Structure formats: C-alpha cells, structure tokens
Amino acid sequence: MQALLIVAHGSRRAASNQEVAALAAVLAQQSSRFALIDYAFLEMAAPNIATGLQQMVAKGAQQITVLPYFLSAGNHVIRDVPRIIAEFSQQHPHLAINIAPHFGLAPGIADLVLAQAGSPAKI
C-alpha cells in the first residue's frame, strides 16, 4: 500500500498547522495513487515526522513518499528531514521510503505566484 506524507515546518500558531491538515485532507480526496495521505511537522507541532511515519506503517503502508512541503532548500530540507527519514528507514528495513523534491521546485510555482500577486502572466 502506497502512502504520501506531507512534511511541513510546523508553527506555534495552530491555524497555520491546520492549513497543512486541510491540504492533506484535500489531497486525500483528489489522489487515486496514494491509498493514504497524511501530514507531519518537522518541529513545533504534532505529529512529528517519525510519529507520522509510524502511524502510516501501523495502517499498512509499505511504500511511503515523503514530500517536503517547503518553498526552498534550506537546512531543513537538505539536512534535517533526510536525517530523520534515514533514521526511520534504518529501523524499518522492509519499508520503501522515498523523498520527493521539495515543493518549491514544482513546475508551475512561478505562474501561481503571479496569480497570487494579482498579476496575469504574459503568456
């Protein structure tokens, strides 16, 4: 069973974390590929990444894609998230985990930014 874990930074502000939860709920409705879609936070909020992964394993996930929901590849994306995933992976050798490129690399970001700024793209 294939699962997708959205990993966000996490905030002290509950409403911020709820945005991520709401996104995961929308994704779970839209996706036909992933039988399970959930979210976790690097810090400041629950569940943390290891707990999020553990919950997916408990629900029967055999392949997990982790999507770092970050706009640019700072130390969190380059160092912290991969380290946590690697540790979990070592403890669960039969689980296939892969990390998708961080969200900021998604094609279409520029168009979305212009739309959000109220500006139509030239083309």
Which residues have C-beta within 8 Å of that of residue 112, sequence separation ≥ 6?
none
At its nearest, how many Å lie between its own copies and the CB of residue 64? Answer: 11
Number of residues forming the site for its own copies (CB under 8 A):
54
Question: Per the structure block, which two tokens stand in for 114?
Answer: 């212009």
What residues contact 90, with CB distance under 8 A and at least 6 apart? Answer: none
Residue among 16 and 55 whose Cβ is closer to its own copies: 16
Nearer to its own copies, 90 or 119 (CB): 119
Does 67 engage in binding with its own copies (CB under 8 A)?
yes
Which positions from 104 through 123 interact with its own copies, judged by CB under 8 A? Answer: 104-123
> How far, in Å, CA of 35 to CA of 109, rounded?
26
In the complex with its own copies, the residue whose CB is nearer, 29 or 90, is: 29
Contact 82, 99 (CB under 8 A): yes
